[in-house]
């Protein structure tokens, strides 16, 4: 394997650097985008119970916001729970955009690596072919070793660029799909909480409604 990498020449250096960066991003995103870390099980129902029991305090809300992306979204609604529904909805949408941006962190870089890696491989291919033609011009076709070296460098760079690009592109699409799924689930939980916050308070049973007196008949 090392001999193949050396045979690829200096164009292999940027390809290997991009592959290392892609691997780091993939491992980090797999850890960060775990379902339990983004959508803790039962958190939405638990927050709705807290709202009904009125057991929320600023420290509790702060801890909720720091626990997970879903908790941050729900905490944004709870902080202004006494405001009109449209204002709460607007705050949730603003917070959701920030949360979604953080969940998509580094995915653009991963997509760029998937796009650039084959181009780097193509660059190595062109350089290898140029070396081969220069060897033919200098020594003629009687030196097959020089020709084989140029062809080998071209093929190794092409193959390595594709090996990096294919999984990077596939995982880029996978992470995008996972983030979109999380966004839909978080929207559902935020809507349920918003509905709970919008329920009007019940009229006390002991209070009697006073009706206006009917006009006296003449």
Closest CA to 64 of 54, 50, 85: 50
Show the domain range for 153: 2-197
Q: How far is CA 111 from CA 28, 33, 48, 183, in A?
A: 15, 17, 38, 20
Coil, strand or helix at 9: coil
pLDDT digits (tens, 9 = 90+) for 138-150: 666 655 665 665 6
Coil, strand or helix at 160: helix
Closest CA to 12 of 127, 129, 131, 172: 127
Which alpha helices (DSSP H) does the chain contain, by range? 2-7, 12-32, 35-38, 43-53, 58-67, 69-79, 85-103, 107-139, 144-197
Average pLDDT over residues 108-135: 86
pLDDT, residue 50, reads 84
pTM of the predicted structure, to 2 decimals: 0.78
pLDDT, residue 136, reads 67
Copy the structure tokens of residue 140. Answer: 């003629």
Indicate the number of domains in the chain.
1
pLDDT digits (tens, 9 = 90+) for 158-211: 888 999 999 999 999 999 999 999 999 999 999 999 888 865 544 334 433 433
* 212 within domain boundaries: no
* 117 within domain boundaries: yes
Element (DSSP H or E) covering residue 96: helix 85-103
* 214 within domain boundaries: no
pLDDT, residue 206, reads 42
């Amino acid at each position: 394997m090392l001999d193949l990498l050396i045979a690829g020449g200096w164009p292999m250096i940027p390809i290997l650097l991009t592959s290392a960066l892609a691997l780091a991003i993939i491992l980090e995103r797999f850890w960060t985008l775990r379902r339990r870390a983004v959508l803790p099980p039962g958190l939405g129902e638990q927050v709705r119970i807290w709202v009904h029991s009125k057991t929320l305090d600023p420290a509790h809300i702060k801890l909720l916001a720091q626990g997970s992306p879903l908790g941050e979204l729900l905490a944004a609604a709870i902080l202004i729970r006494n405001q009109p529904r449209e204002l709460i909805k607007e705050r949730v949408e603003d917070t959701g955009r920030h949360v979604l941006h953080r969940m998509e962190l580094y995915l653009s870089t991963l997509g760029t690596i998937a796009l650039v890696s084959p181009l780097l491989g193509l660059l190595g291919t062109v350089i290898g072919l140029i070396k081969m033609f220069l060897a033919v011009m200098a020594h003629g076709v009687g030196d097959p070793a020089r020709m084989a070296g140029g062809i080998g460098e071209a093929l190794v760079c092409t193959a390595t660029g594709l090996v990096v690009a294919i999984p990077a592109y596939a995982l880029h699409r996978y992470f995008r799909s996972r983030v979109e799924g999380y966004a839909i689930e978080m929207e559902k939980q935020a809507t349920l909480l918003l509905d709970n916050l919008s329920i009007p308070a019940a009229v006390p049973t002991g209070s009697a409604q006073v009706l206006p007196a009917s006009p006296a008949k003449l």
